[in-house]
Amino acid sequence: MKKFDKVIAITVLVYLVTSLGLLALLRGMNNKSSSEYKVEINKIYLGLVEGTSFAEPDLSSYEFIKSVSFLPESSQTSKGDIEEFYKNTNGLEYEIKPWYNEDKLLGYLRFNYVSRNSHNSILFKVEFMLFIFEAIIISVLFYVRNSILKPFNTLSEMPYELSKGNLKEELKENKNRYFGKFLWGINVLRENLDYHKIKGLKLEKEKKLLLLSISHDIKTPLNTIKLYAKAIEDEVYDTNEKKILAAKQIQEKSLEIENFVKEIIKTSSEDLLEIEVNNSEFYLKDLIDKVIVTYKEKCTLKMIDFIVGDYSNKLVKGDLNRAFEVIGNIIENAFKYGDGKEIKISFYEEDYCQLIKIFNSGETISENEFNHIFDSFYRASNARDKQGNGLGLYICKYIMKKMDGEIFAECEKEGMSFTLVLR
């Protein structure tokens, strides 16, 4: 804000300097004109008084003097002639000098002239226009300052506060045409972060309780297994029937422990994938346009050929934003694990379904790794030096199933492809 205030101050200063400069120029022109026209009057006057009769001089070489008239000194001069002599002519200024022949007054000479004072009105108009222009500029600068920069300066602290975990400070929403939607989005983000923070703490608490509960429940069958194993080791059972019964008990308790482990895995998966999917309908073009806007320039910067094939604009079922998330995840994986040559999106129709095939060039993975690429927390050998947690494709498959769709992967000769199936 301080830098912008300096810009406003500099603008005002430039205006004042320009305005004062014009006034100084005007004053200098007036002073110059007042001396120049007097020089011309004196020059003409000296030429006239050398004779004894008036003859109108040639004024073509004079800049200021426009005409010269003579009023003779005589008792026969009428009042009308006198009034006409002193009458203003076309707004010109005039100066009157007496004409003497030795000591005798012959009459009066009137010199009609124009001075540069007539330019005053033009300069004043320029000054006025300059003032109006400056007023408009200052008004625009203050509008930008108060309506754009000042609110943005207030908002600029909010992301920093969110990054520190300060999620309770709510921004007051207003009807600002520039930041109204941004304020709403920031508040929604803050609420979501706050919600997930509370949910995370609650989940952490539930996990600890679950671990304590399962630990307690596992102890019983585990102690039973240890007891039977010790008995077998010490040859407590003297018949095969008792040994078989002990083995059956160990097997039953092992199954109990296995069920507990399955319950833990199931609970962890449900908590992990609580993803909301709003199933409705959307046009395929809306999805592809969003993909192109997001990744076309990015691929250009990475010097990757980004090819989008022809398609018919079908109405498909699902969640537009979640479908974009799936495609985005696949393309981001192509950036990470592809060879940076080509990403191609093709379109097919099959059994009233829309198929979107995303191919990226690069090395393929082994058959064993390929069978696990949609598993949670699984990362293939080509991902060792890349950031990630092995959940991207797992989440993609989960989302597609929630949209009553499917996703398939295929190892091709020159790379990998993923095919999305939308109803």
Annotated domain spans of the chain:
2-119, 205-272, 280-422
pLDDT band at 373 (very low <50, low <70, confident <90, very high): confident
Query: Of 130-139, 154-163, 382-391, which has the strongest mean pLDDT?
Result: 130-139
Residues 6+ apart with CB under 8 A from 265: none
Task: Kindly state the average pLDDT of the residues 267-275.
Answer: 60
More confident residue, 416 or 7: 416
Percentage of residues of the chain with pLDDT beyond 70: 81
Top CATH class of 205-272 equals mainly alpha
How many Å apart are CA 186 and CA 184, to the nearest integer?
A: 6
pLDDT of 269 strictly over 60: no
Which of these, 402, 376, 403, lies nearest to 391 by C-alpha position?
376
pLDDT band at 180 (very low <50, low <70, confident <90, very high): low
Task: Kindly state the average pLDDT of the residues 296-301.
Answer: 89
Task: Kindly state the average pLDDT of the residues 211-237.
Answer: 79
- Mean of the per-residue pLDDT values of the chain: 80
pLDDT for res 383: 56
pLDDT of 202 strictly over 90: no
Residues 21-80: tens digit of each pLDDT: 777 766 665 555 556 778 888 888 888 777 767 778 888 888 878 888 888 887 667 888
- Does this chain's domain 205-272 share its CATH topology with 280-422? no
φ, ψ dihedrals at 412, nearest 5°: -105, 180
pLDDT for res 315: 94
pTM above 0.75, yes or no: no
More confident residue, 155 or 32: 155
pLDDT for res 27: 65
pLDDT band at 401 (very low <50, low <70, confident <90, very high): very high
Strand, coil or helix: what is 68?
strand
Which CATH code is given to the segment(s) 280-422? 3.30.565.10
pLDDT for res 168: 58
Task: Kindly state the average pLDDT of the residues 332-348.
Answer: 91
pLDDT of 418 strictly over 90: yes
More confident residue, 35 or 337: 337
How many Å apart are CA 282 and CA 284, to the nearest integer?
A: 6
Residue 362 gets the label, from left (phi > 0), alpha (psi -120 to 50) or beta, of left
Task: Kindly state the average pLDDT of the residues 199-211.
Answer: 74
pLDDT for res 281: 94
pLDDT for res 392: 81
Task: Kindly state the average pLDDT of the residues 323-329.
Answer: 93
Are the C-beta atoms of residues 393 and 382 closer than 8 Å to each other?
no
More confident residue, 289 or 367: 289
| Neighbouring-strand partners of residue 97 | 109
Query: Of 129-133, 185-189, 231-235, which has the strongest mean pLDDT?
Result: 129-133
Q: Which of 38-42, 200-204, 287-291 has the lowest mean pLDDT?
A: 200-204
Rg (CA), the chain: 48
Tokens 């830098």 sit on residue: 3
pLDDT for res 111: 87
More confident residue, 161 or 113: 113
pLDDT for res 258: 81
